[in-house]
């Protein structure tokens, strides 16, 4: 059976590898935490399986990369692409604050339980527990502020992918960033408000894929499965 969406541009979401704060579950926004040894191995493993000529992420098909300024994301880029690939991509990547992690403000470095306990002590959340997607972060970003910067990237992506929905030009995109912001990006990609319940997981060093249905830039979608052939 032919693939009715073959050739449709894709957007790859790459979460940086493990850090010490990833292990403990601490909220890591602006804190510039490096990858652990295992975190580097996670990314290298994904690169070996998924990146290269004839593989899911083919550097020759990439038109643009958006990379968070944080060290853990920039190191992930270095591990994901070998020197030859990086040379071909050197004019195609943008290091941008628009894809940095959610600004956690007062909650930076805390655990979820600590955040909820602290808010309760301050008389907040009397009817339900704190939910970042609805409540944002004290002295940090609201969901609306996060959506605004992610929508800027989405607008850029659709502008240059839109004319090539049938593969007339190779215009795949790669985002290398963080757990919360990439899940937020996925929600905005399909037009969901960040407060919409849509449980998602993206492990350190893992890759997610977004695309479009019916070769139509106005029908953004999750790409739940890829044919490895």
pTM to 2 decimal places: 0.95
Nearest Cα to Cα of residue 14 among 195, 183, 220, 213: 183
User: Would you state the pLDDT for residue 4?
Assistant: 54
Is 61 among the domain residues?
yes
CA distances 204 to 66, 149, 224, Å, are: 18, 23, 18
User: Would you state the pLDDT for residue 106?
Assistant: 97
CA distances 151 to 37, 111, 190, Å, are: 34, 28, 11
Is 5 among the domain residues?
no
Mean pLDDT of the chain: 95
Nearest Cα to Cα of residue 31 among 140, 153, 187: 140
Burial tier of 176 (Cβ tally within 10 Å: 0-12, 13-18, 19+): buried
Count: domains in the chain: 1
Is 1 among the domain residues?
no
What does the DSSP 8-state code read for residue 127?
Answer: S
Is 4 among the domain residues?
no
CATH code for the domain in which residue 171 is found: 3.40.50.1240
Is 215 among the domain residues?
yes
User: Would you state the pLDDT for residue 170?
Assistant: 96
Q: Which residues are catalytic?
A: 16, 101
Q: What is the extent of the structural domain holding 175?
A: 11-222
Query: What are the φ/ψ torsions at residue 60 (nearest 5 degrees)?
Result: -70, -20
User: Would you state the pLDDT for residue 5?
Assistant: 61
Is 227 among the domain residues?
no
Is 228 among the domain residues?
no
The binding site comprises 28-29, 72, 101-104
Is 3 among the domain residues?
no
CA distances 70 to 28, 165, 214, Å, are: 10, 32, 36
Residue entry with tokens 């007062």: 106
Nearest Cα to Cα of residue 216 among 5, 2, 67, 1: 5
User: Would you state the pLDDT for residue 1?
Assistant: 28
Distance CA 180, CA 185 (A): 9
What does the DSSP 8-state code read for residue 80?
Answer: H
pLDDT per residue over 19-66, tens digit each?
999 999 999 999 999 999 999 999 999 999 999 999 999 999 999 999
- pLDDT tens, residue order, the chain (229 aa): 235 567 899 999 999 999 999 999 999 999 999 999 999 999 999 999 999 999 999 999 999 999 999 999 999 999 999 999 999 999 999 999 999 999 999 999 999 999 999 999 999 999 999 999 999 999 999 999 999 999 999 999 999 999 999 999 999 999 999 999 999 999 999 999 999 999 999 999 999 999 999 999 999 999 887 665 4
Structure tokens at 166: 């049938």
Distance of CA 12 to the CA centre of its chain: 8
């Amino acid at each position: 059976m032919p693939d009715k969406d073959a050739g449709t541009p894709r957007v790859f979401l790459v979460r940086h590898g493990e850090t010490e704060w990833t292990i403990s579950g601490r909220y890591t926004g602006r804190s510039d935490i490096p990858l652990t040894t295992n975190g580097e191995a996670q990314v290298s493993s994904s690169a070996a399986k998924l990146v290269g000529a004839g593989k899911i992420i083919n550097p020759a098909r990439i038109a643009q990369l958006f990379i968070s300024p944080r060290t853990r994301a920039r190191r992930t880029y270095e591990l994901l692409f070998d020197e030859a690939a990086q040379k071909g991509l050197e004019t195609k990547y943008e290091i941008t604050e628009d894809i940095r992690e959610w600004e956690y403000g007062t909650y930076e470095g805390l655990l979820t339980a600590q955040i909820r306990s602290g808010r309760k002590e301050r008389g907040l959340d009397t009817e339900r527990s704190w939910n970042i997607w609805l409540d944002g972060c004290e002295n940090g970003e609201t969901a609306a502020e996060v959506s605004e910067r992610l929508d800027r990237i989405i607008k850029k992506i659709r502008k240059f992918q839109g004319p090539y929905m049938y593969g007339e030009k190779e215009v795949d995109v790669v985002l290398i960033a963080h757990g919360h912001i990439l899940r937020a990006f996925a929600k905005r990609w399909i037009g969901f408000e960040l407060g919409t319940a849509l449980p998602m997981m993206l492990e350190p060093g893992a890759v997610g894929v977004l695309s479009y249905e019916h070769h139509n830039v106005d029908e953004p979608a999750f790409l739940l499965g890829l044919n490895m052939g």
